Structure 1
Amino acid sequence: MKSLFQVVKENMTNLHLIFRLSIFELKSTNSNNYLGMLWEVINPMILISIYWFVFGFGIRGGEDVNGIEYLPWMISGISVWFFISQSLIQGSKSVYSRINIISKMNFPMSVIPTYVITSKLYHHMVLVGIIMFILLAFGYTPTVYSLQLPYFMAANLVLLVTISLITSTLATIVRDVQMIVQAVVRVLLYLTPILWTVEKLPESIRTIMKINPFYYIVEGYRSSLLGTDWYFLTNFRYTIYFWCLVLILLLMGSMLHLKFKDRFVDYL
C-alpha cells in the first residue's frame, strides 16, 4: 500500500505540472498538421460513418436497438472508444519514448502516463460535445441522467492512467509489450458492446463479458447520453467490482513502477 500512496501523492502534488505538460503535449502532437487538432475530430467522424454503414446497414439492416435507432445507440457508446484506444496505445509507450529527456531532470516519472492521457482527454471532451449535438438532431436532449457523465469520464481517466502505469513500465523493460497492447486494443473494440449488442447472448456469456471494465464505461456513457437510467446505481454491484478492479490494478502498477523506475535508463 505504501507504493500506491506514493504514486497517488506524486500525481496529486503535481497536478499543475500535469495540466501544463498535457497542454504542451496537445499542441506538439498536432503542430505539423495543416488542419491541426481538427484531425482529432475528422478521423473519428470518418470511422463512425464507416461503422454505421457496415454494422448499421450491412449487418443489422437498419434495425433498432431496444427501440433506439442504431446511429444514436452506436455513437453514444463509441464516443469514449477513441479516447480509450488512443490512451492505451500512447500511454504504454509514454515512459520509454520520453526517458532520455526526463532522466536528466528531477521529475516524478509516475506522472508521465497521466499527462499523456490527460492531453487526449481534451480531444475527447470536444468529440463528446459534437456527438451530443448529433444526438439532439435525433431528439435526445440532455436529461438529469446526463449529470453522471462527468463521473464516467473521471472513472475512465483513472482506469486508463492505472492501466498505462503498468503497461508503460513493462514496455520500457520489454518493447514487445507495446505490440501486445496494440493487438489487445484492436480486439477490445469487438469484445466491448460498442458496434454490436449482447441481447442475443446467453446470460452467462454477458456476465463473462462484464469482466472487461470498459464494458462498464461504455454502457455508462450510453446511459448518460441517451438518458436511459442511473447506470452506476442500477448496476451497483458492477460499480463496486469496477472500483475494486481499479484499486487492485493501481496497487500492482504502483509496486511495479517504483520497483523499476530507477533502472528505466538501463533498458534503453
Structure 2
Amino acid sequence: MVSVNFLVNNFKVIREHRYILIQLIKKDLQNRYVGSFLGLFWAFFPPLVNIGVFWFIFEVGFKSVPVNNYPFILWLLTGMIPWFFISDSISYSSTSILDNKFLVKNVVFKLNILPFVRICSSLIIHLFFVLVLLLFFSFYGYKPKIYNLQVIYYILCTITLVYGISLITSSLIIFVKDLGQFLALILQIAFWITPIFWSLNLLPSKYHLLIKLNPFYYVVEGYRNSFIYNAWFWQYPRQTLFFWGVTFFTIGLGTYLYRKLRPHFADVI
C-alpha cells in the first residue's frame, strides 16, 4: 500500500511539474555527453555497433538456426534491446541524486524524481531502438502486427521496476560509494542469467522456475511475446502477478530507504 501511495503521489508531482520535468530531461541528455565532439550521437552509436557486430557474427559467420521460424538475429535483438534499456537506466539513475548535489539542500525540491528524470532520458534512446527493431523485422519481411503494441506495456513494466531499484541504489550510493562497482557486477551477472543470448528451453525444466524468479526475464520474454511468439501478457497471469508483486515490493523498500536516509543526505554530501 505504501508503494502504491508513493507512486500516486509521484504521479501527481510529475503532472503538476511536468514542464520542469521536461526541462530536466532535456538538460540531462545534454549534460550526459557534454564535452564530447559527437555529443548525443554517442548514446546511439555503441548499441548500433553492437547490433551490427551481432548481425555479422550470427547471420554471416555462424549462420545461426532460426528460432520459431524467425532469424536468430531477430530473436536475439528482442532480448538485447530491452536489456540495453534496463542496464543503462539502472546504472545511470543510481547516481542521479549524487550527481545533483546542489539540489540536496533544497528542502522544497523532490529529490525522488531525479531517478525518474534519468530513466526518461534512457527511455528516449530506447524508443529509437524499438524503431530500429521494427525496421529489422521489416527488412526480413515481417510486417507490423497488433501484438507489437504490447511493447508499451512492457516499457511501463521496465520503468516501474527500474524506478524502484533506482530509489534503493540512489539513496544507498550516497553512503556506500562502492555500490557503483558492486551494481555493475550485479548487472553483468543478471545479463547472463537472463535468457538473452540463450533460450530457457536449453536448461532442464527443474531450473525454469528459478530463472523465472528473475523479474528481468518477464520483460525480455515480454518483448519476444510482442514481436515473435504472438502472446498477450494476460495469458501468463502467474508471471504477471509475481512480477508486479516484486516490483511493488521493490518500490516499497526504495520508498522506506529514501524517507529514512533523505534527512542525512546533506550531512554526507
The alignment's TM-score, normalised by the length of structure 1, stands at 0.91
Task: Name the residue aligned to 1:50.
Answer: 53
Residue 20 (str. 1) matches residue 48 (str. 2): no
Match of 1:251 in 2: 252
Counterpart secondary structure, 2:65: coil
Aligned partner of 2:225 in structure 1 is: 223
2:115 is aligned to 113
Give SS of 1:148's match. helix
Is 1:67 the equivalent of 2:69? yes
- Are 1:236 and 2:200 counterparts? no
Instruction: Name 1:203's counterpart in structure 2.
Output: 205
TM-superposed deviation, 1:6: 4.2
For the structure 1 residues 14 and 49, does the alpha-carbon distance in structure 2 shift closer, same or farther, using more than 3 Å as the test?
A: same
Structure 2 letter corresponding to 1:262: P
CA shift in 2, pair 1:66/1:230, >3 Å = closer
Tell me, in whole angstroms, the C-alpha distance in 2 between the residues paired with 1:4 and 1:112: 19
The 2-side partners of 1:72 and 1:176 are apart by 37
Q: CA RMSD in A?
A: 2.0
Residue number in structure 1 paired with 2:148:
146
- Please list every run of 5 or more consecutive structure 2 residues that lacks an aligned counterpart in the other structure: none
1:94 CA drift (Å): 1.3
The counterpart of 1:36, out of the listed 29, 36, 39, is 39
- How far, CA to CA, are the matches of 2:201 and 2:34 in structure 1? 44
Matched-pair contact (CA < 8 Å) for 1:19–1:118 = no
Q: Which residue identity does 2:50 align to in structure 1?
A: L
Residues 96-118 of structure 1: per-residue CA shift (max 9 Å, x gap): 12123442462111111111111
Deviation at 1:13, TM superposition (A): 1.6
- Cα distance in 2, alignment partners of residues 266 and 179 from structure 1: 23
2:99 is equivalent to residue 97 of structure 1 = yes
Matched residues in 2 for 1:55 and 1:186: separation? Answer: 22
Which runs of 5 or more structure 1 residues have no equivalent in the other structure?
Answer: none
Q: Which runs of 4+ in 1 moved over 4 A?
A: 1-4, 52-58
Post-superposition offset of 1:248: 0.8
Aligned counterparts of 2:173 and 2:41: Cα–Cα separation in 1: 30
Q: Show the counterpart of 1:10.
A: 10
Aligned residues: 266
Q: Give the TM-score, by structure 2 length.
A: 0.91
* Residues 57/181 of structure 1: CA separation in 2 closer, same or farther (3 Å cut): farther
Q: 1-side partners of 2:92 and 2:151: how far apart?
A: 24
Offset from partner CA, 1:29-86 (integer Å, 9 cap, x none): 234333332222211011223344556677x651222322111111122111111111
Whole-Å separation in 1 of the counterparts to 2:237 and 2:59: 31
Secondary structure of residue in 2 paired with 1:63: coil
Over 3 Å counting, the alpha-carbon distance change for 1:20 and 1:264 in structure 2 is same
Identity %: 29
How many Å apart are 1:3 and its aligned residue? 6.9
Q: Distance in 1 between matches of 2:7 and 2:114?
A: 11
Aligned-residue offset at 1:2:
4.7
Partner residue in 2 for 1:83: 85
Residue pair 1:55, 1:195 contacting (<8 A) in 2 also: no
Q: Secondary structure of 1:79's match?
A: helix
